[in-house]
Chains A and B, each alone.
Chain A
Amino acid sequence: MTKRDITLTLNGKTVSGQADPRMTLVDFLRVVLKATGTHVGCEHGVCGACTIVLNGEAIRSCLMLAVQVESQEVITVEGLCEEDGSPGILQDAFRDGHGMQCGYCTPGMLTSVHALLQSNDDPSDEDILEAIGGNICRCTGYAQIIDSIKIGAERLREDKS
C-alpha cells in the first residue's frame, strides 16, 4: 500500500505525517504523530475513549481514517492545556472534582466536554448527560465527572466575563 501524505492542524499547529489509506485516525495521531494523549478502548465506536474534536465537533477517531482529516482542524486532550503545557481550566476542574481514577477515559471525556462547552457554556444536567453519554467510564460511576464538568463550566464562564 502506498502511504499518503497528510497535513492537518493539530492543536493549533500545522503538522504532517504519512499513513496507509486504511490507517485509522487514532492510530495516526498516536503512532505517527506521537500524540498519545488520545486513547483506544474498543475500536468499534462504543466507548468514547478515542474522542477528539474535529472542526469543533466531538467525534470518535477510531471510526475515521487518517486520510479523512487532510486540511482539517483537530483538537486532542493535549490541546486543552495552556501554552506552557500546564493544565487548562477544564483540566484543572477535573482535578478539583477528581473526575477520574485510572485516567484512561479522561482524554475522551475532556474532549467531549470541551466540544459541549464551546457551544453551550451553561449546560443543563441533560446537556451534560447527552455530551458524555457516549463516553464510558469504568472507574468513577460518573458522579465526580459530572461534578467536575459543573466546576469547569462555571470557571470557564467566569473566565470569559
Chain B
Amino acid sequence: MSGAHDNPVAGSNYHYIARKRRVVEDKRFVTGNGNFVQDQDLPGTLHVAVLPSPHPRARIVLINAEAALALAGVAAVITGDEIAEHTLPLYHGLPLPECRWFPLAHEMTRYAGEWVAAVVAEDIYIAEDALDLIEVEYEATPAIVDPEEAMKPDAPLVHPGHGSNIIYDGDFEWGPVAEDFEAADHTLSFRARWGRSSTVPIETFGVLAKWDKGTETLNVWASIQMPNYPEQIAAALRMPLNGVKVNQDIDVGGSYGVKRGIKHTVLVGYISRKLGGAPVSLIEDRLVNLASGDAHGPDRIFYTDVAFDQGGVIKSLKIRAIDDCGAYPGRGPFQLGKPIAAIVGPYRINSVHYRPCSVATNKTGQVPVRGMGQGPTNYMIETAVDEVARHLKLDRFEVRRRNLIRSDEFPYLNPTGTKYDSGDYETVLGKVTELANYDDLVKRRDELRVEGKLAGIGIATCLEPSGGNNLFEFLFNPKAEISTYMEGCQVRIDSVGNIVGTMGTTTSGQGHETLVSTILGEELQRDPDDIRVIHADSLAGLPTRSPIASRMAVMLGGAAAGAAQKIKDQLFQIAAHNLNRPIDGLEYSEGTIFDRSDPARKLSWDELCNIAHRQFHKLPEGMEPGLQALHVMQVPLGGQMPDEKNRVQLYPCFSFQAHIPFVEIDPGTGKVTVLDYFIAHDCGTVINPDIVRGMIIGGVAQGIGAALYEKFDYGPDGQFLSGTFVDYVMPSVFEIPYVKDVEHCTPSPLTSHGQKGSGEGGYLGAPAAIASAVNDALEPRGLSIHELPMRMNDIEELLNGEKPE
C-alpha cells in the first residue's frame, strides 16, 4: 500500500499545507449526507421527461401532444416552437447567429436523441408514460456523420442557415516554420485520431428550478460546473441577471468539466415560470446523459508534420486539427484553442504552424472535458516524439531527454508567447524511471516477448497548463475582449473568533472546502478543522469563474491567502493601536499578537476579535468595525491581450508529469491489459497530498478509459450506438491497475504557496502513455496504431492484417 503522506519537499515550512489531513467534504459523503441535486426535496416538485428524436436529421412536421396532456398527473407538454418563441437561443462561444440552439429541437432535429418535446408531470413515471403518447411526424433526411465528409462543399448542412458545416477554421503561425522545415535533417508525417469520449460522471446532470413570484427570483439548484452559468440562464430567459439565484452549495457528483446543463436549466426555468412557480426538476437518466446531454468530448483528427534533426531534436511542427463538435458547438470549438498554451509541450520546439478547425455533424454537442482539448493535443505531441524515435531508431526516453526544456531555462518562453513558470522535467522523468524500476521492466517485457507474447512499455511526458485564462477565446473571436478570469474568496471572523471562508462556486470532488480551510489555517495559524467554508449563492456575489481549467489551487487558494492577509493586516493595526507599538515591532503567533521586545504585552485572538466586533472605542481611527475581507485574485501574468502575431501568455502555471505504463496484448483476441502504471508528477507545492494523489490517479484511470475502452459510437446513418455503460464501456477496478505515484515539487514563483494546478494532469498524459505502450508492444510485428480508443477488436483486426494501417 502506498498511501499519501506528508509531501517532504513542500511540507517543511508549513503546519497544515502539504500535510496529510482528512478531507473536510469526505465526512458528509461517507455518512450518506451529501447534498446532491437529487436530494433536494421541495414539496410539489414536478418532473420533466424528454422525448428523443429517432432521426439524426429530420424536419419536424407535426407534434400532437393531446393524448399526453390528457393523462392524469401531466401538467404540461412543451415543444420546440414554444421554447423558441419564449426564450433566446443558447449561447455559443463563437458568434454563430445562424446556428440557433434551443433546449428543444426547433423545426428540425440535428442528432439522434435530440429532445423534441418535454413532459412535465407529478412524478417521473407518469412523465415517461406520457412520452409514449406524443405523436410526432418527421420528414427524415440523410445525416452527416463523418467530420471530414462534413467539410466538403456538397455535404448536407447541420445548420442550413450557416451555409457550411465549418464552425471555425483558424491559421496560426508562431516562429519560422518554413525555415525550420527547410533546415531540418528529417521530416515525417502522421495522422492521429482521438475518439469521441468524455469523462462521464457517475451522477448524471440534474437541475431543479423554482420561480419565486414574491421576490421575482429564479432559484436554481444544479449539479453544475461552468463559468457564466447564471449569465447564460438570465440571457436565454430574458431575465435580469440579479433575478437568477444559483445555489452553489450543491455537491456535484463528479464533473471533470462536463457538467454544463445549460439547456436543461433554461428548460426547467422556463417551465417553472410558465407554471407560476412550481418547482420543476430534470434529472437525466443515463440514456439521455449519454445520447443527448450535449456533453461529449473532443473528437479529433490530427495531421501532423514534424521537422527534426539527426539527433532526434524536434525543430518544428505543422498541425492540422479537425474536431467534430457535433450539432451545437457551444463552447466546444475552444477546446482547440486552450491547448495553444502548451502546443509544443514540454519540449524546446522552435516553431509551430497550427490550423484548428471545428466542424458540425449530426451528433450531440460537446462540452469542455478535463483539460479542454489538452489531452488530445498531448496525445498528438507524444505520438510525434515516439515517431521521431522510431524513425531514427533511437530510444524514446533518450529522445525526450534531448528535447525537454532544461531546469535552468525557466521561466521558458515558448513560441506562442506563453512563459512556462517553472519545472524540472528531467528530474521528474528520472523519478518515474526509478519508480518503475525501468531496467527490470525492460527485462519483464523482453521475457514476455520471448514467450511469444506482445508486451510494451509506454512513456509520455506532458504538461498541464493551470490557473486558467480565457484569452484563447479572443484568439478565436476578437469580439471576446476578456483579459481576466478572476476568483474571489471572502473571510469573515465572527465576534467569538470563529472563521468562515466563503467561496462562490460549487465543488465536484476537488475538495475546495479543504483547500480554503487549509490555506486559511496556514495563513492565520488557526486549526483548519475549526474553519468553516461555505459556498455563497450567485446573488451573494463573489466573483467566480468556477472550478475549471485546473485553476482552483492557484486562484481560489490565492484568493484565500490574499483575504487572510488582509485580515492579518487589520489585526496588526488593532494591536498596534492598543499596545501602542509600531506594527513592525509586533509579531503574530497562532492568532495572538505580541510586542517582540516585551512578549508579555499582547492581545489574544479572542481579544482582537472582540475589539473588532464590539469595542469601537479601541479601533484605530477610520477603521470599520467587524472583521471581514474579500480578495479577488487576478490570473498571474494575466491582463495582456495578444500581440499582432497572436502571441500571448495563455496560462500562468505549468504542471508536469511523466507516465510509464506496462501493457500486455493478447495476440489472439487483441485484448490489452495494463499490468502496471507509474507516474511522477510535479504540481509545485501540494496543498493536500491525498487530494492531489486522488486526482492524479483518477485522471490516469479516465485516460486509460479514453485510450482503450470508452467511445460514443454512431452508425454511418447517424444512429447513436452507445446508450448504456456496457456499450460506452466504463472501466472498472479490473481494468485499472493500482497506479503507483511519486511527487516532485518545483514551486511556482507566481502563486501564494508555490502551488500549481493538479486536477487534469493524470488524464492529460495517460492516453498518450498507453498508446506509446501499445505501439511498443506492436513494434516487433512491425505494426502501429494511432487511433483511440484502441479497443480489443481494433487491435485484433490490426494483428490479423484485416485493417490496413
Binding site for B on A (CB under 8 A): 20, 22-23, 30, 34-44, 46-47, 49, 76-78, 81, 85-87, 91-92, 94-98, 100-107, 110, 129, 132-147, 150
Nearest residue, chain B, Cβ from A23: B125
Residues of B within 8 A of A100 (CB): 26, 29-30, 509
* A44 & B733 in contact (Cβ 8 Å cutoff): no
Instruction: Identify which of B32, B285, B698, B762 contacts A36 (C-beta below 8 A).
Output: B32
Quick one: which of A103, A136, A146 contacts B253, CB cutoff 8 A?
A103
A85 near B31 with CB under 8 A, answer yes
Contact B732 A136 (CB under 8 A): yes
Minimum-distance CB pairs A-B, first 6: A37-B32, A103-B29, A104-B253, A141-B701, A102-B509, A101-B509
Interface residues of B in 703-757 (CB under 8 A from A): 724-726, 730-734, 736, 738-739
Please tell me if B396 contacts chain A, counting CB pairs below 8 Å. no
User: In the assembled complex, which residues on chain A have CB atoms less than 8 Å from the CB atom of B725?
Assistant: 42, 44, 46-47, 136
State how many angstroms separate the Cβ of B407 from the closest Cβ of chain A: 29
Q: Is B30's CB under 8 angstroms from A110's CB?
A: yes
Inside 8 A of A40's CB, which chain B residues have their CB?
A: 38
Contact A129 B734, beta carbon cutoff 8 Å: yes
Q: Which of B138-146, B195-203, B582-590, B622-630 contacts A (4 or more CB under 8 A)?
A: B195-203
Q: Can you list 24 A-B pairs with a CB-CB distance of less than 8 A?
A: A20-B125, A22-B125, A39-B203, A46-B724, A77-B30, A78-B31, A91-B30, A94-B30, A97-B3, A97-B690, A101-B695, A101-B698, A103-B253, A104-B253, A138-B199, A138-B200, A139-B254, A139-B509, A139-B694, A139-B698, A142-B733, A144-B3, A144-B693, A146-B733
Instruction: Knowing A102-B251, A102-B509, A133-B734, say if A141 contacts B724 (CB, 8 Å).
Output: no
B23 at the interface (CB under 8 A from A): yes
CB distance from B281 to the nearest CB of A (A): 12
Distance of A140 from chain B, by nearest CB (Å): 5
B738 near A47 with CB under 8 A, answer no
Q: How far is the CA of A76 from the CA of B26 in the complex (A)?
A: 17
Interface contact B697-A141, CB-CB below 8 Å: yes
Most chain B CB within 10 A, of A20, A97, A135, A141, is at A141
Q: Quick one: which of B27-47 are within 8 Å of A by CB? A: 27-34, 36, 38-39, 41
Known contacts A136-B730, A139-B254, A143-B697; 14 additional CB pairs below 8 A are: A34-B41, A36-B36, A43-B286, A44-B725, A87-B27, A98-B691, A102-B509, A105-B202, A129-B734, A136-B731, A138-B730, A141-B702, A142-B738, A144-B690
> What mask results when residues 1 to 13 of chain B are scored 1 for a CB within 8 Å of chain A, else 0?
1011000000000
CB distance from A81 to the nearest CB of B (A): 5
* Closest residue on chain A to residue B256 by CB atoms: A138
In the assembled complex, the Cα of A81 lies from the Cα of B201 at a distance in Å of: 26
Q: Interface residues, chain B, CB within 8 Å of chain A?
A: 1, 3-4, 22-23, 25-34, 36, 38-39, 41, 125, 199-204, 251-256, 285-286, 508-511, 690-691, 693-695, 697-702, 724-726, 730-734, 736, 738-739, 762
Q: Which residue of B lies closest to A101 (CB)?
A: B509
> Can you name the residue of chain A whose Cβ is closest to the Cβ of B24?
A95
Chain A residues near B739 (CB-CB < 8 A):
141, 143
Judge whether B4 and A47 touch: CB under 8 Å: no
In the docked arrangement, what's the CA distance between A47 and B769, Å?
A: 27
Question: Closest approach, in angstroms, between the C-beta of B660 and any C-beta of chain A?
Answer: 16
Which residues of A sit under 8 angstroms from B701, Cβ to Cβ? 140-142
Contact B254–A96 (Cβ < 8 Å): no
CA distance A16 to B31 in the complex (A): 22
Closest residue of chain A to B728, judged by CB? A46
Which residue from B125, B286, B694 sits with its C-beta under 8 Å from A101? B694
- Whether A137 pairs with B202 at a CB distance below 8 angstroms is yes
Q: Are B694 and A144 in contact (CB under 8 A)?
A: yes
Instruction: Give the docked Cα–Cα distance between A39 and B223 (Å).
Output: 14
Say how far A94's CB is from chain B's closest CB, in angstroms: 5
Determine the distance from Cα of A9 to Cα of B343 in the docked complex, in whole angstroms.
59
Shortest Cβ distance from residue B503 to the other chain A in the assembled complex, whole angstroms: 17
A80 smallest CB distance to B (angstroms): 8
Query: Given A22-B125, A138-B201, A95 and B1 touching (CB < 8 A)?
Result: no
Please tell me if the beta carbons of B691 and A102 are within 8 angstroms of each other in the complex. no
Chain B: CB-nearest residue to A44: B724
Cα A101 to Cα B692 with chains together (Å): 10
Which chain B positions have C-beta within 8 A of A147? 1, 3
In the assembled complex, how far is the CB of residue B295 from the closest CB belonging to chain A, in whole angstroms?
13
Contacts of B738 in A (CB 8 A): 142-143, 146
Chain A hits for B700, CB < 8 A: 141
Does A103 lie within 8 Å of B31, measured CB to CB? no
Closest B residue by C-beta to A128: B733
Q: Which residue of B lies closest to A82 (CB)?
A: B31
A83 to B690, CA, bound (A): 29
For residue A87, which residues in chain B have a CB less than 8 angstroms away from its CB?
27, 30-31
Taking the nearest CB of chain B, how far is it from the CB of A126, in angstroms? 11
- Residue among A134, A135, A139 having the largest count of chain B Cβ atoms under 10 Å: A139
Residues of A within 8 A of B702 (CB): 138, 141
A105 to B204, CA, bound (A): 12
